[in-house]
Amino acid sequence: METGKLTEVFLDSAYESVGRARRETREALGRDHVLLPDVVQVVSELLANAVEHADRGLVDDLIGLTLTATLDSVRVEVSDPGSASRAPHIPLDQPPGARRGRGLLIVDRLSGGRWGTREHGRGLGRTVWCAIPYVRPEHAGDENDEAERSPLRALSATCRP
């Protein structure tokens, strides 16, 4: 795959935009891309967080989605109006069976910890980004262990009662 920007779209700050973002991601990467399931999952989590937590109220609030291919990863960036009350974080007090509040934990696992935020200044919003690596170094040689190769599957297994 070539490196460079794969797509950049602007979506309404509404839950319906999460489905459109997934479709745009599938189209940009192609059905056979090795990282497609992980990138689609991360896009879903970050878009849902942007809709849920960003300060809204303006009719024209938009959420930006940018996908970029690099030599070692696919980079996902989601830009939103930001929030005056709190920054994106992984909750430390989540009960094991929680149904909500696990989005950034999933992003953290799928990106191998390669995620962060950029504040654009007061009232200018923020960008949450992550890089989904083609090879997860901690598990690169272990192709027989399905749970180890799929951090999302392993995470979901820990959530079962």
Give me the amino acid identity at 2. E
pLDDT tens digits, 116-128: 988 776 666 889 9
**pLDDT value at residue 98:** 52
By C-alpha distance, which of 133, 123, 34 is closest to 76?
Answer: 133
Residues lower than pLDDT 50 in the chain: 89, 139-161
74 exposed, middle or buried (CB, 10 Å; 0-12, 13-18, 19+)? Answer: buried
Q: Taking the CA atoms of 66, 128, 25 and 134 in sequence, report the sign of the dihedral they define.
A: positive
The CATH number that applies at residue 38 is: 3.30.565.10
**Segments forming the whole domain that contains residue 128:** 4-158
Domain count, the chain: 1
CA–CA distance, 69 with 42 (Å, rounded to integer): 15
